[in-house]
């Protein structure tokens, strides 16, 4: 092997080792668990099950329509932030996605980072009397 080829392979090896080291140290960051909020639509009501939600962490809202009619799950809490909606095997990414329509007995997952504290309302645009809310408090350590 020529000296030039050996130098090229040396750079490739150093790059591979560097990338491998970076990947190992970044692994825990990429594997952070998501904060999960479960929302079931039943009898024309939103039933919400959530734990403590923390700012800046990956979050997923899992919505399931148990009714025999189509419903919408929409909220302004997703405005301006990167959001991913997964439904029926299709994933949509974007900013300003406002929600998802769910046919009977269907579900969807909405992924985003919780970044704004406060009371976040959601609603069904088809049935305006259907509303719910998530509460995200920003508590400073004392």
Tell me the CATH number of domain 35-136, given options 3.50.50.60, 3.30.43.10, 2.60.40.420, 1.10.1040.10. Answer: 2.60.40.420
Q: Which residues of the chain have pLDDT under 70?
A: 1-32, 138-142
CB of 137 closer than 8 Å to CB of 92: no
Residue ranges per structural domain of the chain:
1-31, 35-136
Measured at the alpha carbon of residue 37, what is the angle toward residues 92 and 118, in degrees to the nearest 5? Answer: 95
Tokens, residue 66? 């148990």
The pLDDT value recorded for residue 70 is 97
**pTM, two decimal places:** 0.72
d(CA 54, CA 35): 8
CB pairs under 8 A, 24+ apart, for 23-32?
Answer: 32/57, 32/58
């Amino acid at each position: 092997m020529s000296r030039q080829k050996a130098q090229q392979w040396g750079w490739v090896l150093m790059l591979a080792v560097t990338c491998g080291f970076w990947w190992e140290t970044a692994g825990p960051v990429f594997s952070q668990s998501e904060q999960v909020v479960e929302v079931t639509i039943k009898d024309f009501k939103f039933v919400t099950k959530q734990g403590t939600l923390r700012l800046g962490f990956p979050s997923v809202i899992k919505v399931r329509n148990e009714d025999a009619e189509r419903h919408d799950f929409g909220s302004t809490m997703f405005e301006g932030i990167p959001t991913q909606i997964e439904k029926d095997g299709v994933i949509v990414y974007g900013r300003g996605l406002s929600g998802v329509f769910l046919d009977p007995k269907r579900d969807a997952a909405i992924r985003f980072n919780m970044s704004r504290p406060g009371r976040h309302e959601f609603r069904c645009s088809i049935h305006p009397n259907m509303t719910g809310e998530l509460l995200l408090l920003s508590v400073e350590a004392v």
